[in-house]
Structure 1
C-alpha cells in the first residue's frame, strides 16, 4: 500500500471518561540554579531561546562521546560552532546527554528509540548544569527492564510571542496530576493540563488552533523512577484551541500516571526555530494529504506499509545537512512506535526506513503515528 498526499484532513473519535486518580508530586532537581542561570547565557531571539537535537548511534558509548555530528545541531552553534552535544552512559539503558549553552528551567524534551527490536526510551530527568542543559534518557525492553538502545533526543526552551502568521508553537511539561512544570504558547494565551483519569490527560493549547486540524504533535513520557510510555490518544482544534488527549501506560499496558512532555508545532519544526531551518516536514498517518501533512519545500510526503507495523516514510526536497526525526504513536491502545533504523538522505530526499510499532508484549503491530523531521538549514 502506497499513500500520497491528497486534500482531506482526518477526523478523530471521541473517548470515554476514565476514573480519576491522583499521584504524589515529584520535587525534581530543577529549582537549584535560578539566579545564576539568568546571567549565565545571554538572552537570544524568542521562539526558541535555546534548543538542540542529537542522535546516539552507539548504545554503549565511551564517556564524553560526541554524538553523531551529522544528526545533531543546536542554537548554540551560532555563537560557538566548535561545541558539540555529548553523551555519557550512567547505567543500563541510561544516558546523560549534554547540550552546550542551552541551560533552561522552562523547556520540554522528546526522545524516540532507534532499534529493530522492541524498545522504548523516555526522559528520566532534565536540568541545567552551569550553562549546559542535561537530558537524562532511560531506555527499556518489554516488561520494563532497563536496556541499552540507540535514540534521538531534542530539547527546547522558548519565550516571547510570534507575530501573527500561519505558524504556531507550544509545549507543556506536566506532572502526574496535571500540574504544569514548564509551558510555552507562541500567542501568549497560555496552556492548561488536566488529569481526567489514571494516566489520562487533557492538554489545552489556547489560541494555537485553526479552523482545520493542522500541525503536528509529539509526546514523551518522563519519570525518574518508573518505566512509562505516553502517546496521543485523540486531538482536535476547536474555537482556536488545540485539545490533545494524552494516554500514559506502564510496561504491561495498563494506564498509569506519569510526567510527560508534549509539543505542538505548525509550519515550524519540533524545536521551534524557523528561517533557518527552511527544510522541514511533518505528517500524521491517518490524514496524509490534509493540513497535518506539511513539507516546507513543497515535496509530496508519502507512507508505504513495508511489513507488519512497519512504515517507510519518504520526505522529498528537505534532506540537507544535520537532521533529526521524532515519532509518537497515535491511538488509545498501549502500542508504541519507534524508528527501526536511523533515517537516511538520498540527494535531497529523506527516507525513514522504518517507523516500527509494537504492542505491550513486544510484537510488531499496525498503529498510526505522528512523525516530524527537520534539517538545520
Structure 2
C-alpha cells in the first residue's frame, strides 16, 4: 500500500465564542491569484494522510493532494488524539470558509474547529471523532477559499455563527455572495435552519455543509430550492445520537464552478441511492470538461462517483449527506479506476443507502 496517495488504494478520507476570539490574529495581504479563479484572495486544500504522525511535529501532506494558490507550502500538525492543525502558508488573513470531510473506510467523522491567521499563514484546526463521540486519529480532507468580487458563476458561502438565534445575518467577515448581497439565516427549530442566499436563485447547483466547533455533531443538507430571486438551503444538524442539535456550521453553494470557485472541478447530487448505475440529475451535476458524470452503487451504502476527464490522481474531495434523516457520508478514496468512492452510515455505524452531495476540485 502507498500511504501517500488516496488513489493508491490506501483504506483510510463551517467560529468560537465570538469572531474576535475564534479568529484572532494578524493579517497578511495575499495578492497571488490562481488560474481559473474569479476575484480569489487565496485558496488551498490538503489530504491529511498521516493521522497518527508524531505529536506537534509538522509533516508535508502528499504533494499531489495539496494545493496552495500562493505557491507556499502547506503542512499538518497533530496536536492531540483526533486534533490537527492544517497550516496554509502565506494565506494569513481573516475571512473565507473551510470544509472538512473524514477519509477512509471507517465511520469516523471530522469537523472544522476554527481557522485564524497566525502571522503570514492561516491555521485551520480540525477535530475528528468516532461515531460514538470519542476522539480518534483519522485521515481527512480539508479545503479553504477566500474570495471577492461579483460576476462569474453563482457562488456563496457563510459561517453560521449564531445557532440559537431565530433570524440573523451571519458574520459578514466570513460570508460571501457573488451577487454582492448579504446572506441570512433563520432557525425553525432545534438544529433546523434555512439559509437564504440572496439574488443567486436557481433550480440547480451544489451545496456542501460542515459542522463547526470541537464537536462530534454532524450537519447536512436538507434540500435547496429557488424562492423568487433567492436560493434557499435547508440545513439539519444532529448530535452523534441523531438528536436535533443547535450547531454552528459552514456552508458553500456553487453553480457552474467548483466549491473553491475555481476549475477544473466536478460535483453531483446523488439522487438515486438505490440504483445500480445512473447519470445524476443534470441540473445538480457539473463537470468543467463538459461531459456527463456517472454514479455507480458498489454495495449498500458504498458508491463511486465518476467525473470523466477529471484528473483523479490529485485534487480534493468533499462530501456531505443530503436529506431529512440522520445518515451521514464521507469519502473513502479516489483514483482513476474507482472514481470517488463514498461511504454512508447510520448513526449506529451501519452502511446505508442515502442521498449525498460530492464535489471534486483540482
Q: Please, what TM-score do these two structures have when normalized by structure 2?
A: 0.86
Find the counterpart in structure 1 of residue 358 from structure 2: 371
Find the counterpart in structure 1 of residue 121 from structure 2: 132
SS across alignment from 2:70: helix
SS across alignment from 1:117: coil
Residues 30, 70 of structure 2: 8 Å contact kept? no
Find the counterpart in structure 1 of residue 77 from structure 2: 88
For 1:1-377, list aligned pairs within 5 A: 26-28=17-19, 29-30=21-22, 32-33=24-25, 36-37=26-27, 40-42=29-31, 47-62=39-54, 63-77=57-71, 83-162=72-151, 167-175=153-161, 176-177=163-164, 179=168, 180-181=170-171, 182-210=174-202, 213-224=203-214, 226-273=215-262, 277=263, 279-286=264-271, 288-319=280-311, 322-340=314-332, 342-345=333-336, 351-352=339-340, 354-375=341-362
Q: After superposition, what is the alpha-carbon deviation per residue over 1:101-140, rounded to whole angstroms, capped at 9, x for unaligned?
A: 1123221110111121111111111111112111111111
| Residue ranges of structure 2 left out of the alignment (5+ in a row) | 1-15, 273-279
The ranges of structure 1 where at least 4 consecutive aligned residues each deviate by more than 6 angstroms after the TM superposition are: none
SS across alignment from 2:175: strand
SS across alignment from 1:121: strand
1:262 Cα deviation after fit: 0.1
Aligned partners of 2:342 and 2:23: how far apart in 1? Answer: 37
Find the counterpart in structure 1 of residue 9 from structure 2: none
1:321 Cα deviation after fit: 6.2
Q: After superposition, what is the alpha-carbon deviation per residue over 1:161-218, rounded to whole angstroms, capped at 9, x for unaligned?
A: 125xxx11110101223551321001102211122211111101111123xx211100
Aligned partners of 2:233 and 2:335: how far apart in 1? Answer: 30
Aligned partners of 1:101 and 1:356: how far apart in 2? Answer: 34
Residues 200, 247 of structure 1: 8 Å contact kept? yes
Matched residue count:
329
Residues 67, 84 of structure 1: 8 Å contact kept? no
Residues 47, 186 of structure 1: 8 Å contact kept? no
Aligned partners of 2:232 and 2:110: how far apart in 1? Answer: 25
| Residue ranges of structure 1 left out of the alignment (5+ in a row) | 1-24, 78-82
Measured on the aligned residues, the alpha-carbon RMSD in Å equals: 2.0
Residues 30, 105 of structure 1: 8 Å contact kept? no
Aligned partners of 2:235 and 2:145: how far apart in 1? Answer: 20
1:74 Cα deviation after fit: 2.1
Aligned partners of 1:46 and 1:89: how far apart in 2? Answer: 33
1:272 Cα deviation after fit: 1.1
Residues 111, 121 of structure 1: 8 Å contact kept? yes
Q: Please, what TM-score do these two structures have when normalized by structure 1?
A: 0.83
Aligned partners of 1:119 and 1:237: how far apart in 2? Answer: 34
Alpha carbons of 1:283 and 1:53: their partners in 2 closer, same or farther (altered >3 Å)?
same
Residues 100, 131 of structure 1: 8 Å contact kept? yes
Residues 23, 115 of structure 2: 8 Å contact kept? no
1:40 Cα deviation after fit: 4.1
Aligned partners of 2:58 and 2:113: how far apart in 1? Answer: 19
